[in-house]
Structure 1
């Protein structure tokens, strides 16, 4: 028996007996196909008491009378009959209120699924972009779409990511004046933030994270996080949470620098100790050094001076220990007024204060004796 090409509807042969059987089968098939609303989708076992005209989309592992008809359209007309779907065939699933289309491999939800709150939608004009919504009686022209439960653009949305977009860029353009992106949270202890990920693993986050103070935090693995800074909302003060290393020069000119605390050449006192007659003063650790002489110092290293062309200075506080009589040999790069090195106090617990200045990267240090024999 010959069938039509697309839907396999049986054709009546010219010399066929019982033509009415073939004709009735063809009409029943057409009736099933034209009724594009199926009762259910994905069942593998036929219902117990079907009625004539019932339609189903068979599941992937059918049994009993539906065996060997996975994904076919099953319709009941005295017995179960089946239609193999063609690519592009669409059916409405009544119990889901969703339209499905056969893509050649599987039944996939159509665009109506993305507009969950609308009964039926039609774009009537490409130029006018009219959107029609069925209100139960007729179609009404809508100039906006409200209360959609989920939207996926070039991807699938889910209950967590109700708006999901797969795109190389997203543009929010102004409408003639300002343009703002607002993120509103429910309570102070909740989070409203921007989270940056690599392979869906967090690497950086900024915003109101767990409180109402603006903060930035980073992570190398998405698990261990480090706060970089927190901006207090009542004052605007910035609290840096990690030690920072700054390099380069800060040129103040006429600009005011308020409450700055810099690691390089800052007014920080350190107390280095000599070892085996050698003492190292590292200017990156501060520029006030308090040294208690517990031995004779014969070698002094002045490390990490400012670059040539920048002025740099430090203060050296030399204290004799309880024994006293310790000597201190200045490095050869130090030049003194009139070329005479000062005589230091040797009494027990005596204190001498000296200042040193360089402008050529430490090639020459100009030495000044600020005070002697403090006690």
Structure 2
């Protein structure tokens, strides 16, 4: 069994030891010196000419006189004599004379604002770092606050992410259990991107802001524009679902050409519109009507329209437009009606469109 502790070399009281109070007091003396360590100086190589009992110093380099041979040690004046304590890596001390903190790295005492600490290769706070992430912190919250003007600052606080070329990345990565779920920043270009992923592999841009113009794009916004590519025959006085089967664009595949329906992928507010062009069969006297139907049963408020005047075949058009609050899976379809006489809704001139607005 060792006679002293491994870190501070505190003497142990041994079995059957005489004058145990001497050993105990020596341990207290060492603790009194080394805990809450504050020293007067750390850059003197010569002992002060008029030291005071209890003064502590970190001996400077190339020490002389009574301090000779004790470079870097902690020197304590006790009972008129200098006592020395050799530091161990990680010990810290407050240098009263210049109001600075220093730390011992195993060889030298280093200022906490020294060049060596300004160029640390890795820094882990609550966790170990990895070669690809030289700075890592494991914590529940963090705060960045500006240095106020009253404290000598500007009152502002800025964080800067800098990249080398336009093709490089600069941004924030959001993860779940270290699996990426979202990106925000300049990824692969100088455009601002907000991108999400359900699996950490397939990413979809929800928002892109062009670096040159500032124009905002929503690449995956649910939206479509389509038309019918054949004349849709409609019997007199029968609401008929128009076969909207030729899409100009159909983001998120929201328009199902098989059922001729828009299918809401997510909840939200949507805008819809349609243009219907009349084409006569035997008569041009039919009244032209249109509506949007929700889930195959309910007429969407504001979507019902009708033209009652005389029609010109292949020229008379009816336009409708409205908004609807939809739940995921809700369907919207375009219907037309020719009142009194049959006829057609004209190919390539009858269209249906919509998109999510909120």
TM over 0.5: no
- Higher relative CO (Cα under 8 Å, sequence separation at least 6) belongs to 2
Q: Larger strand proportion, structure 1 or 2?
A: 2
Rg larger in structure: 1
- Normalised by the length of structure 1, the TM-score is 0.42
| TM-score, normalising length: structure 2 | 0.44
